[in-house]
Chains A and B, each alone.
Chain A
Amino acid sequence: MTETTPDVPSAAGQSRFRRLAAMLWADKFALVAMIFLIVVLLCAILGPMLLDNLATRQNLRGRNAPPFDLTRGWAFVLGADALGRPLLARIIVAARNTIMVAAGAVACSLLIGAALGLVAGYSRRGLSQAIMRLADVIMSFPSLLMAVIVLYMLSASVTNLIIVLAITRIPIYLRTTRAEVLELRERMFVQAALVMGASARRIVFRHILPMVLPTLLTIATLDFAFVMLAESSLSFLGIGIQPPEITWGLMVSQGRPYLTHAWWLSFWPGLAIILTTLSLNLLSNWMRVALDPAQRWRLEMGKKND
């Protein structure tokens, strides 16, 4: 009805990035979320190098030091834990394990899930059915429980945690990819490629995968938050990361006995988790709109005097 005659001059490549940046600027929530995530990422990369000593040095005189007291130095602005270690420094250092487990698990499950999904969507019925049933089994197995069992049998290292969490998340990507592939392979441009004689590999990698990717990235962002929460829960229950390694979830757990008189021990790391997952959720919401041509106007309208 209101199709614009799209005879605009050529604009590709570089300007696509600029366009995304403009859309990010238009959504202030997403912008703040992005900035916050970059800060968290920097903490995860640089934190342990710079602050490891500070974060592990015990100071029994400063046990459970209350927050907002600057006399001990900036690192104590959020208070200190039961051994007198500064909470802010510990949160920054703990960012590494927390982010690493989540990133590793998401990356693994995304890769494996998408690959299996492509195969399931583009191959014979039998193989596809087998893969789907496997996904069903994983889905019906309580994910937290699977993690508990496996981590209990193996040791609770970062690698094992990544593997377990990755396995439980594979079905998400698998199902999404397969559903999209089943729809995409019937699309006209895939048929057109077939008529030209394109091989299955070419069709999958050149025509189907690029179309599925935006959806997968959106899900991955959301899933990053989910995996972070799962890791935190496991660490909280005492079967995830073991001390002296730290993650935010473990910090919440360590502060639990002191809840009634030193709430800040559990509060701040919990807040760090919330803010990070919230940012990821906001960013994922933004991506869903920004990567969908039919929804994009909502963002682009904002920047034009309205």
Chain B
Amino acid sequence: MKTFIRKRAVASGLSLIGLIVLVFFLSRLTGDPTSLYLPVDASLESREQFREIHGLNDPILVQFFHYARDVLSLDFGDSIRKARPALQVVLEAFSWTLTLAAVTMLLVTVAAIIFGALAASRVGGVFDRIATFFSLIGASAPDFWIAIVAIVFFSVYLGWVPTSGTGTVWHWILPVAVLFIRPFGLILQVVRGSMISSLSSAYVKTARAKGVGPRPIIFVHALRNAMLPVITVIGDQAAGMLNGAVVVETIFGFPGVGKLMIDSILQRDFAVVLASIMVTAMAIFIMNLLIDLSYAVLDPRIRY
């Protein structure tokens, strides 16, 4: 198992390095980096000064070396908008995003697994049809649209929950609910598909021949075998949320990393953008390791 984890860690680590390189060349490829770092109305002198200070007149490889050194020592510079270290700003926002993602994914995972498994246990039954239909709608709905319709209906029309902000538990309900829908639909579909093949396997036949009841067959014998593809999708969806649910955060005025990134891009706060990319990439790196670890925990064939 250790070699498996080590291999996966090395592969993800390589990707992380690739990302660092990619970001640098993307920022250089597209023209003058001063236009990325400085406000649009910056004067020519201040641009020139900026170039001097940040070594933008150096050869590109030297620049890359400085850049890599800074990134590896987690020094991204200061945020122009907030005049604070960019990393600090990003970590603050990221903690909000992390909480939101964790709460939502926990709910999604539990709900999707239970409903998906039950739907698969009677393919074509009433429950299966209903679950499949709703999961399809969930997977098809644009989140920004759901969000604004939900605001109009629940906040404006019914006045049940606040429209934006983070003050109370009530503030969390709409963002979580809106974020819940799409991953729920997608994961439910995967659980259902994977469970159908798992339920028609020979070992389930054995369990039935042993006299095991329908519930343990679904949740003990079939589910654990069906979990591998499900975990992959859970990982993908969680990664999407860690990147910041840009749209939902913007609409609900939620101070997460997605909103921060968009705002920073629009206001040319490149230090913050860079820090956000690296922090979320790091988080995804760690999460991928956790995913790999859970593969190994679930399936002994990977362990030995």
Distance in angstroms from B240 CB to nearest chain A CB is 8
- Taken together as a complex, chains A and B put the C-alpha atoms of A236 and B250 apart, in Å, by 11
B12 interface residue per 8 A CB criterion: yes
- Tell me which of B141, B145, B239 has the highest count of chain A C-beta atoms within 10 A of its own C-beta: B145
Restricting to B254-275, which residues have a CB under 8 Å from any CB of A? 261-262, 265-266, 273
Question: Counting CB contacts under 8 A, is B78 at the interface?
Answer: no
A140-B15, A233-B247, A281-B136 known; A260+B280 contact, CB < 8 A: no
Q: Are A142 and B280 in contact (CB under 8 A)?
A: yes
Given contacts A133-B14, A233-B246, A278-B137, contact A260 B144 (CB under 8 A): no
- Contacting pair A282 B136 (CB below 8 A): yes
Q: Are A149 and B15 in contact (CB under 8 A)?
A: no
Closest to A278 in B: B140
> Which chain B positions have C-beta within 8 A of A263?
149, 152
> Taking A140-B285, A273-B145 as contacts, is the C-beta distance between A237 and B277 under 8 angstroms?
no
- CA gap between A55 and B167 in the complex, in Å: 43
- In this complex, the member of A142, A153, A232, A277 whose beta carbon has the largest number of chain B beta carbons within 10 angstroms is A142
Q: Which A-chain residue is minimally distant from B26 (CB atoms)?
A: A149
Q: Contact: A140 with B152, CB < 8 Å? A: no
Is B277 within 8 A of A142, CB to CB? yes
State how many residues of chain A have any CB contact under 8 Å with chain B.
41
Interface contact B142-A249, CB-CB below 8 Å: yes
Other A-B contacts than A137-B22, A233-B246, 5 sampled, CB-CB below 8 A, are A137-B18, A140-B12, A145-B261, A273-B145, A281-B139
Q: A134 an interface residue at 8 Å Cβ cutoff?
A: yes
Total number of B residues with any Cβ neighbor in A under 8 Å: 44
Task: Return the contact of B11 from the options A133, A134, A154 (Cβ within 8 A).
Answer: A133
Q: Given known contacts A252-B148, A260-B152, is B136 in contact with A278 (CB within 8 Å)?
A: yes
Residue of A136, A139, A232, A259 touching B142 (CB-CB under 8 A): A232
Given A153-B30, A154-B30, A259-B151: A140 touches B140 (CB 8 Å cut-off):
no
Contacts of B22 in A (CB 8 A): 137, 141
Q: Is A229 an interface residue (CB 8 A)?
A: yes
Interface set of A (CB-CB < 8 Å, partner B): 133-134, 136-137, 139-142, 144-145, 148-150, 152-154, 225, 229, 232-233, 236-237, 249, 252-253, 256, 259-260, 263, 266-267, 270, 273-274, 277-278, 280-282, 285, 298
Q: Is the CB of A237 within 8 A of B262?
A: yes
Q: A140-B285, A260-B152 are in contact. Are A152 and B265 (CB under 8 A)?
A: yes
Given contacts A140-B15, A140-B19, contact A233 B144 (CB under 8 A): yes
A266 touches B18 (CB 8 A): no
Q: How far is the CA of A259 from the CA of B275 in the complex (A)?
A: 35
Known contacts A142-B277, A144-B246, A252-B145; A136/B140 CB under 8 A: no
